A and B are shown apart, each in its own frame.
Chain A
Amino acid sequence: MVHLHSGAATDVGRVREINQDSYLASSRVFVVADGMGGHHGGEVASAIVVEEFGRLAEQGYDSTRGTEVVTECLRSAQQRIRDYGAEHRSGGQPDWYAGTTVVAALLCEDEEGPTWLLVNLGDSRIYRVHDGRLDQVSVDHSVVQELLDAGEIDAAAAAVHPERHVITRALGGPVLREPDFFVLPLASAARVVLCSDGVSGMIGDDEMEEILRGSEDPRDAAERIVAAAVHAGGQDNATAVVVDVVGLAESGSHDARTALVSLEEKLGALP
């Protein structure tokens, strides 16, 4: 039986006065959202998206239609953020605006069994640990990433680029932007890490990998990652969610997958 064990931590950091990050760590749905906007708009926006995903976690979802479920969820979050913004702007706060990034991991299934469905909108990050190695799964929706993709700058230049916080997609804008989806076999991502850029911007992948390797319990891992980001300067709100797939040998082999599937079937599969 697949169990997911998770841990989460967040910290306002050393510079900001308020924490605009929000997260969700339920039994099957995991989210990190990094809000932005003045007059507490960012907090509201990230809380809205977490609330929408929280509804999926509470009420259940069709795990064979993961991308549709998530798209619907993002649509309602988008609508709520826009409505909220329109309300404030018409209520005498013309410069009120809000948006949020979102990364989420959901336990889903396809023809062959349970999978991770991962989704990204913005520059929060999704990593997975596979064979002991940390591997960034999501691709930032940021100007710097676009420049990297275009070969205009290298990774070193990206790290100090003045535009490194300019993102090209987010939730809450005039139109709902297309998120990126990823599907990974559970066996290929026995540990999944979601974090805001207050983490990935403060500590490198090597440091995060080291922390994860030394933290067997995902709760410890999440807390240590956030602490390291704050220790490194805490320039931004830092949030991390770490999820472990337990009861599953970390193996990519078909036999392990098959065993997993049959076990799922015996136990009544996923809701």
Chain B
Amino acid sequence: MTGDVSTVVRSYRSGGWYAVFGEHAAVLLPPSEKSRVAAMWEMVEGRAGFEELLDALIAGGLRGLPGFVLVSSGEAQTRVVLRGAARATFTLADGDPVEVDGTAAATWVERVLDGVTSVRVDLEDVGGADDYVLETGLVRVSRVDEPPYVEPVAQAAHAKPLAEPVVVPMPEPVTEPVTEPVTEPVMETADEPGGLHVAPVVPLGEITDAESDAERPPSVDDLLASDAALADAEEEGLPLPVPHAPGEEPVAVAVPVAHRAAPEPVEDLPGEPTQAFSPIPEPIPEPVAEVPPVAPPVEEPVEEPVEEPVEEPVEGEDDHHWPFSDPEADDDLDEAGDEPAAGPEIAPRSQPPSRPDQQWEGDVEEPPASPGNPAGGAADQVVPGQPPAPDSDHDGDTVAGGWDPSQFARQQPGIPGQPPAPSVTAQPVARLVFSSGETIDVDRAILIGRAPEARRFTSTDQPRLVTVPSPHQEISSTHVEVRPGSGADHGSAVVTDMGSTNGTVLVQPGLAPEDLQPGMAVQLLPGAVIDLGDGVTIQVTNL
């Protein structure tokens, strides 16, 4: 860790964890904790201290937070708190490595270290192999190095495929003055249609306002949009950080780093081979200028599915087209929850995916020799959204491939922007005591009503249906759902009014009665009473 006034630079590798990097502190959260990310960003951006951040992290209790990493650097001290599947390795001034492993502790591990010269945090085994330099900002990571990771010189030759549009190699050590203008080439690129997919390298100190608009790393926008949750997030009012200094031209998209106009750098990285690690503007214009707008901008493909089908062969054939190479086909019947992988999943359709995309692995376990794919062996080259090969068998029956249903965000029950609840929990999270005397444990979704119906469930998440009497028809056929909560509600039950005609009143202990908003899940406290009308109440108790 570097000193407290200097520009802290780190590098990261892409992954599923959320990383909030501030000037003095970094907070890393596992993929399941997305709902906390925006708040953490605000705090980190607002220079909240170590204690404040820790308080905020554990405010909802430890049980609901499966893992996190909090690192803050002070004058000479570095403090770290780790929980869950994360491991940090510190190198001290005296050369000794100190390893801190969250998995070793039931609650968390805390260390205070002096004279830290570098730290590496490992979060996931899978993740990108490329290191991106970052100063402050919000990114999804699998590994973090501070100062930035540099490959041994012998291997420094970039083996990176040119086709990879998003990757810019780690900056080489450069001794150029930081004031070297980056602006021009970047500006040019920004005018091009493909100008957005610039490497997520963020030489913060050097970016000017003009640049920051055009050239940006994956911002909060991108990150949220990337898992198709942007709209949800906005609905929720999830704040997208748009930091900028007073008087500065507002940046349209969140570029968490752009407000640091003062170029700076090198001298302030004490005790380090600063040239190697300083934020270097030099490499940026080149990749940017050189990368032709081959890959579509991240946003573009979203609309394409609508138009593309026109190119389908066998137009006018009135038969099913059948996606043999279904990307969603990761043996659904065995599938558990799935957290969307980091980054935009919509691959460019005009070229093979330039990076490994887990969604496609194992899809085609037995490439079928379909007319659209007569060779049978090339199935792994199918790209989402890519039109299938022309049909060679016009007998009126044709298969088509390549549609990626994950392109379409399906409406999930539950809270927008939050991961879906685990369908069935090993242990019930609460017990419902009905006014009839019946008791039911909440270990799965429970649908309660006059004649409840379960719609569109899978073989592994079958809800339980509970019928209650309603002589005056005040209770709707499917009135409320109670299910184990997820995210911030993990470990407790949540109740959702299913759009009932007469509504649901919830009385939580110590709180005024509340009318449930249809579709909005509310966490249930022990002692809560759910009133469905017609004299039917449900009391929530601990087990």
Contact = CB atoms under 8 A, between A and B. Distances in A.
Interface of A: 15-16, 34, 36-39, 41-42, 67-68, 70-71, 75, 82, 85, 89, 94-97, 99, 101, 110-112, 115, 122-123, 137, 139, 143, 146-147, 149-150, 152-153, 161-163, 165-170, 173-185, 187-188, 197, 201, 235-236, 252-255, 257-258
A76 to B, nearest CB: 13
Given A143-B403, A149-B411, A166-B309, A67 B462 contact: yes
Given A139-B456, A252-B451, A165 B331 contact: no
A175 B318 contact: no
A254 B467 contact: yes
Interface of B: 303, 305-306, 309-310, 312, 315, 317-326, 328-333, 335, 363-371, 374, 376, 392-393, 395-397, 399-400, 403, 405, 407-411, 450-459, 462-471, 473, 477
Contacts of B473: 253
Given A149-B408, A252-B451, 20 more contacts: A36-B399, A38-B393, A97-B371, A99-B399, A111-B464, A147-B305, A149-B411, A153-B306, A163-B321, A167-B322, A168-B403, A168-B405, A173-B368, A175-B326, A176-B332, A177-B333, A181-B459, A201-B318, A236-B318, A253-B451
Contact of A162 (B312, B369, B411, B454): B312
Contacts of B403: 143, 166, 168
A162 B310 contact: yes
Nearest to B379: A174
B370 A97 contact: yes
Contacts of A95: 369-371, 374, 392-393
A254 B434 CA distance: 15
Contacts of B366: 82, 174
Given A174-B324, A257-B467, A180 B456 contact: yes
Contacts of B411: 149
A38 B376 CA distance: 16
A101 B322 CA distance: 10
Contacts of A71: 333, 459
22 contacts: A34-B320, A36-B320, A71-B333, A82-B366, A95-B374, A111-B464, A147-B306, A152-B305, A153-B306, A165-B319, A166-B403, A173-B324, A174-B329, A174-B368, A178-B335, A181-B462, A182-B454, A185-B453, A188-B451, A253-B450, A253-B451, A257-B451
A167 B324 CA distance: 10
Contacts of A153: 306
A163 B369 contact: no
Contact of A67 (B326, B395, B409, B459): B459
Contacts of B455: 137, 182
A254 B309 contact: no
A258 B364 CA distance: 49
A245 B361 CA distance: 46
Given A16-B396, A97-B399, A175-B330, A167 B408 contact: no
A235 B318 contact: yes
A175 B451 contact: no
B371 A185 contact: no
B314 to A, nearest CB: 10
A70 to B, nearest CB: 8
Nearest to A256: B451
Nearest to A17: B396
A257 B317 CA distance: 47
A180 B455 CA distance: 8
A176 B450 contact: no
Contacts of B399: 36-37, 97, 99
B454 A183 contact: yes
A129 B379 CA distance: 43
A162 B309 contact: yes
Given A149-B411, A180-B457, A174 B365 contact: yes
Contacts of A97: 324, 368-371, 399
A252 B450 contact: yes
Nearest to A168: B405
Contacts of B318: 15, 165, 201, 235-236
Contact of A254 (B326, B374, B456, B469): B469
A218 to B, nearest CB: 22
The 4 residue pairs across chains A and B that have the minimum distance between CB atoms: A178-B332, A252-B451, A163-B309, A146-B408
B410 A146 contact: yes
A250 to B, nearest CB: 11
B476 to A, nearest CB: 10
A101 B490 CA distance: 37
A255 B320 contact: no
Contacts of B370: 95, 97
Contact of A152 (B306, B458, B459): B306
Contacts of A68: 459
A99 B325 CA distance: 13
B453 A254 contact: no
A180 B330 CA distance: 16
Nearest to B375: A94
A168 B465 contact: no
B451 A185 contact: yes
A15 B317 CA distance: 10
Given A95-B370, A97-B399, A179-B459, A173 B322 contact: yes
Given A38-B371, A89-B369, A176-B331, A167 B321 contact: yes
Nearest to B394: A38
A13 to B, nearest CB: 9
Contacts of A42: 397
Contacts of B332: 175-178
Contacts of B319: 36, 165, 236
